[in-house]
Amino acid sequence: DATNISRNGGQRMQYDILREFACRDHAEALRLNVYLSYDEERAETNLIYRERARSYQSALRELGYKVIEKRVKWFEDESGNRYGKANADLDMAVDVLLQSENLDRVLLVTGDGDFVQVVRALQNKGCRVEVLAFDNVSEELRREADMYVSGYLVPNLLPTRGDDYFAPEWGELGARVRGYCYHHDDNKSFGFMRFLVNLSPYLWKTDSRDSESPYRTAFFHDSSLPEGFNVMKLPSRNHIFEFTLAEPNGKQPVATDITLVHPA
């Protein structure tokens, strides 16, 4: 649901990385649907909008995605104010139910709680259902899915601050990564961040001491946290931070220049 995702933190999502994530355990993608809104009325008068929209759609098709275009419909309220709607929920729900035959796994990229019943229906058909989203994600949708993954945590799915061609690769010293605090010592004012380093099939192996775990950890001191952040909220998987991996303090690298990215 591209419209939902772009409005809720995923505007710069990299669709090539999304495909890699969906096929992370050597799975074969049988269908990759992207539901995009398109304002035909605006396109008639705005050449730049029309060319950018078509170029964006072409880029998605080159990556193997099927683009389902949802036309914006314009309405007027009682005061005469115009507003547009391009809701793809019904199309997306019908398509996923019809196309889910013989599928082992379905990845829904949306945070919309209207898909809870769709998740249940897919599970009843024998599909494993995973959900990926960024902000404003329905709690019920998160609970209902077999696995929920915050898009902020997937390596390179969203650019990090200051990301450029010469920046170190995600997970290397000096790189910016995103993770969450899984352990915090209130008395000693320090903790540890956990972050993904690769798109492994073993996402459930969160203990970085396991050789098959795709996760690594970074030490941090409370003084490196964003100014004004309440450390009593830690540890928390719901608070996602972006930070730089500095030289190790012992075995783990040190998380520095920490910023809070979710919740914003």
**176-262 matches 2-153 in CATH topology:** no
Average pLDDT over residues 125-137: 97
Burial of residue 21 (number of CB atoms within 10 Å: 0-12, 13-18, 19+):
buried
Residue-level pLDDT at 72: 79
**Cis peptide upstream of residue 226 (ω within 30 degrees of 0):** no
Phi, psi angle pair for 188, to nearest 5°: -100, 0
Is the pLDDT confidence value at 216 over 70?
Answer: yes
* Domain assignments of the chain as residue spans, ordered by start: 2-153, 176-262
- The helix/strand count (H/E) of the chain reads as 7, 12
Average pLDDT over residues 53-72: 94
Residue 190 pLDDT level (bands cut at 50, 70, 90) = very high
Superfamily grouping for domain 176-262: Nucleic acid-binding proteins (2.40.50.140)
Residue-level pLDDT at 83: 65
Average pLDDT over residues 248-255: 86
Average pLDDT over residues 249-260: 91
Average pLDDT over residues 121-137: 97
Is the pLDDT confidence value at 88 over 70?
Answer: yes
**% of the chain residues with pLDDT over 70:** 98
As its CATH architecture, domain 2-153 has 3-Layer(aba) Sandwich (3.40)
SS3 117: helix
